[in-house]
Structure 1
Amino acid sequence: MDSGKLVNSSEVSGDGPSTPYLTIAIASSALFDLTESDSVFRTQGEEAYAKYQRNHESVPLNPGPAFGLVSKLLALNKGRASPLVEVVLVSKNSVDTGLRIFHSIRHHHLGITRASFSRGRSPFVYAQAFGANLFLSSSESDVREAIASGIPAARLIGSSAQNTLEKTEIRLAFDGDAVIFSDEAEQIFAASGLLAFEQSEVESKDQPMAEGPLHGLLAAIHQLQSVFPSGACPLRTALVTARAAPTHERVINTLRSWGIRIDEAVFLGGRPKGPFLRAFGADIFFDDQMHHLESTRQHVSSAHVPYGVKNLPLERKPDCK
């Protein structure tokens, strides 16, 4: 999967690029808490939902699961003539019901000015048109469609973790296989077991793995990190993987072949990931397996990447955001 094609090519002019280094397309249900209004849509229908949103236009929406991360990323633009990061809203609302979303963006002082409204249709096509390095949504079906179309995407899941706005450094953590790498190794593990997986990885240690669905996001973050002086970068990345020696070497060689730096790496050998992500202080963690995320969500905000052999297709379910 060549997800790297979505990384923006930027030329530095002054203190910022002509286009942002990192562009995130976010669904309104990921940015704000739309639980109450979505309940109106599901129980009473579109017309009642539209009336409800118009009647509550002056009532700001509360922050949603990605609000803290978005706020911290947009803060990187402070004092710069050109933005390093752009966040665009891609919503299933109509432009009429979306007015409350814009009012809430202004109320919370978020620097979001671009948006698309698709009235019930999946908005991932606009994420691609905006050149997004990541599409964040609460919709499983929308995220699956985006990944199938080559767009780096993840589904935010609910978290009991405390908000991390009190620290300014942005910390992003990734699983490896079927997230930043392809699922080729997981296919061997699923078909033949652990010993066959280890043997294959040792034999292939000098052969870089193919790109996974979030490779383009990681590449864009790496470019963004290069803007800042060494030792003063406000973004930090971590690889948190169930792999252990001797399968670690292929991971390192793959990253080297891509020319991408990971700041920290934890090879867990199957131990639970949650405590290590809490120690790292991740603002968000991306993983392809829900059984890992059920644990990590207790410690940090988490996002599911429904890709690869561990994820079977689901029937599309209607949702309005």
Structure 2
Amino acid sequence: MVSTVLNPEVQQKDSPHAVVIAIASHCVLDSGAAGGDARTTEPYAGGAGVPLIQAIKRVNERLLEKNPTETLLFDVLLISTEESEEHQTRSLLSVKHYELDIGRLCFCAAEDLVAGLRSNNVKLFLTTDPRDIWKAAQGGIAGAQLVQQTALHSTEELRLGFYGNADCFLDKDLTDVADPLRVFSALVGKMRQRFELKDSPLTTSLITTAGTRDTCLQALKTLRSWGLAVDEAYCLAGSPRDPILSLVKPHVIVTVSPQPAP
């Protein structure tokens, strides 16, 4: 069973045009931190995904500053596979308590995760659990890894990283699994074009782990053919990725692969 609850304290986005991003509840709210004796009137502790939500909100604010009638906005959905009434009550309470720009909360059983994502027209699902990313991809939903946020992660600029072996970006190797990622990339590319080259609240980067200069260039061309011109590109040629990730500090890592790993 899938149930979706509206947050009355957040203005709902124009759903046909909004880019819906679903974030796993455990990435935003620490439901285990308060202990089992906590009352439903007490909010959960804030989780590691809060800076991401603040950065997404900033993108929306800047878009509306440019055009008050803008409909191409991010719409954040919190999704949880815990369905108890207490959990639902405390989750909504927590979202209100931290004043998070989350318009809807979806609750479903673990086996109904994909159904919950589909019913809310999700374009990208974020979690720290690679198994759920794989499950979403198998169900036709683009999934990505939410990076462990630190105080160094910006809340004024949303940073998206596209990551993979350079050879994986070749169109001939990408299967239908990549189609939802193409759709999301095109929407982000269109949104990025709303801003100038500098001082943008939305930046994208390409990080390729291996491959020649030519295959790295092809990876850039592939993303452009999807409608996304990235701001930065890093061709690691087999070098460790951690130093670059420490420099770029992406909130999200979107892994491009012919087949998602289970």
Range class of TM-score, shorter chain: 0.7 to 0.9
Structure 1 residues 101-140: aligned runs within 5 Å: 101-140=91-130
Q: Check whether the contact 1:20–1:85 (CA below 8 A) recurs between aligned residues.
A: no
Structure 1 residue 310: deviation in Å? Answer: 7.6
Structure 1 residues 144-183: aligned runs within 5 Å: 144-156=134-146, 159=148, 162-166=150-154, 168-177=156-165, 181=169
- Give the number of equivalent residue pairs: 242
Structure 1 residue 238: deviation in Å? Answer: 0.4
* Cross-structure match for 1:56: 39
1:283 equivalent to 2:214? Answer no
1:233 equivalent to 2:200? Answer yes
Residues 112 and 135 from structure 1, CA distance in 2 versus in 1: closer, same or farther, beyond 3 angstroms?
same
Residues 212 and 177 from structure 1, CA distance in 2 versus in 1: closer, same or farther, beyond 3 angstroms?
farther
* Cross-structure match for 1:34: 31
Structure 1 residue 17: deviation in Å? Answer: 6.7
Q: Calculate the TM-score normalised by the size of structure 2.
A: 0.76
Query: Which stretches in structure 2 are left out of the alignment for 5+ residues?
Result: 1-12
* Cross-structure match for 2:55: 72
Residues 99 and 221 from structure 1, CA distance in 2 versus in 1: closer, same or farther, beyond 3 angstroms?
same
- Following the alignment from structure 1 to structure 2, what is the Cα–Cα distance between the partners of residues 310 and 153? 9
Greater fraction strand: 2
Residues 154 and 180 from structure 1, CA distance in 2 versus in 1: closer, same or farther, beyond 3 angstroms?
farther
Tell me which of 90, 95, 105 is aligned to 1:100.
Answer: 90
Q: Check whether the contact 2:208–2:216 (CA below 8 A) recurs between aligned residues.
A: no
* Cross-structure match for 1:224: 191
Q: Secondary structure at the match of 2:207?
A: strand
Q: Secondary structure at the match of 1:115?
A: strand
Identical aligned pairs, as a percentage? 27
Q: Calculate the TM-score normalised by the size of structure 1.
A: 0.64
* Cross-structure match for 2:79: 90
* Cross-structure match for 1:316: none
Structure 1 residue 308: deviation in Å? Answer: 4.7
Q: Check whether the contact 2:159–2:249 (CA below 8 A) recurs between aligned residues.
A: yes
Structure 1 residue 58: deviation in Å? Answer: 2.5
Tell me which of 229, 234, 245 is aligned to 1:261.
Answer: 229
Letter in 2 for 1:28: S
Letter in 2 for 1:231: K
Structure 1 residue 274: deviation in Å? Answer: 1.2
Structure 1 residue 88: deviation in Å? Answer: 1.0
